Amino acid sequence: MSANDDFLNASESEIRSLCQRLLARANSVVLKDQPEQQRDLRFAAQLLLQQINREGFPPSGAGINP
């Protein structure tokens, strides 16, 4: 099983947890000197959350091609 397969089987709650971790990392002191990376992490988390909130989360692997 590849990393892509793991993602395809992620539940909505797992994706939301991932978003929380991405936002926490973006806001951490470790990245204070890397504003571009902070911005990218925030953007990725917000994009995932927006997609989930707008369309709901499809069943595992439904319509997703690696």
- pLDDT tens, 46-65? 999 998 888 666 554 454 44
Task: Please say whether the dihedral angle defined by the alpha carbons of residues 27, 32, 35 and 37, taken in this order, is positive or negative.
Answer: negative
Mean pLDDT (the chain, rounded): 78
- How confident is residue 10, by pLDDT bands cut at 50, 70 and 90? confident
Average pLDDT over residues 16-34: 90
Domain ranges of the chain: 11-55
pTM for this entry: 0.67
Using the predicted structure, report yes or no on whether residue 23 has a pLDDT greater than 70: yes
DSSP for 2-49, written as a single string: -HHHHHHT--HHHHHHHHHHHHHHHTSGGGTT-HHHHHHHHHHHHHHH
